[in-house]
Structure 1
Amino acid sequence: MAQKDYVSRGRTPQKGNKKSPTKKSPAKKQANIKADTSHSAALPWVRLIVVVALLVGFVVFLWTIKDSAKQKVDAPVSIDANKDKDDLPQLPEEEWEYIKSLPGYEVEVDVAEQEKSDKRYLMQCASFRTRSQAEEMKATIAFQGLESQIRPSTGANGEWFRVILGPFETKRDAERAKHTLRKVNIATCQIWFWNL
């Protein structure tokens, strides 16, 4: 059995796919050169004629506007030197109706009074195992202009030191203090009823 060696044989040329370059005869080359030369020789004359026509048109345009510019400049400007600044026309006075009508208006707003309750609020911001950590938190809160307290508490888990603020008369006051502390990254505060 004979094996065929396809690699060494190479590819067979395919018919119709290859385009052979067409060779021009020397006579055709000379004819093309003469046509190109005559075409390029006519082109500078056309350009020259167009440039001259544009220049002539521009000069004519300048000549026509020259007279109108002289008329505008030569026209006398009438300035009356005897006029005073006081001779200016009077400005009309503006009349605004709202100036007259606003003083008589009254706006009535019904505001529900806030009920005062006997409840007072406290805010606990942290609870620490050591008193020194609680003192650090108290100092940070004091730099924000708020007063806090440290309250020790004993529970099933041992002794803790709670940092609390208050008492606040309304929950709104407690929320205001909570937002102030949030600006310095103390976001662990919780608002409760005062029951200590």
Structure 2
Amino acid sequence: MAKDYKQTQSSDDESNSGNYTWMMTGIALGLLIGLGMYFYSNKSDPAPTPEQTTPKKQQGPDPISVVIENARREQQEEQRASFSYYAVLPNLELDVDVIPAESDAPKPKPVELRTGAYLLQLASFRTLKQANIAQTRLVADGLSTSIEEKTVNNKTWFRVYMGPTDSQQQIAEWQSKAKQQGLKPLIVKAP
């Protein structure tokens, strides 16, 4: 029969007994240090003797009169600290540059179209699927659209258009409908 030559490890009881000893030594040492710190931090002055506790006769002004005097001083300081800018403000004069508000600014003139056909570009997407979703939504709202594929800087874009038309009034109507849909349309001259 074959013999196993591998040496077996010693049992856990023999090796762990030293670990418990060190653990208990550490706990005891920690408690001793903590106890020493507790007594050191709570060390106070010795108990007062009856001679120390007897009040000495006060010399100087009466405490009540001191409190009243302090209150009077504080009240006078508060009166002096009141703000004087209410009196000074009407006397100040500042030069201010007047900038017209947006409502006063002239409104941009509507785009005047030259003769020829124009398209209204409603949106531009990177994928055909996105363009189809947008077109479906616009058709459901009564807008007739088309999708064209364009390559710009070696990137393919799918653009959603309305048109073409020659009517400036028609373009304005389409723009307002597109803006109601949350789009920012562009006027493009038809090729």
> Larger Rg: 1 or 2?
1
TM-score (norm 2): 0.41
TM-score (norm 1): 0.40
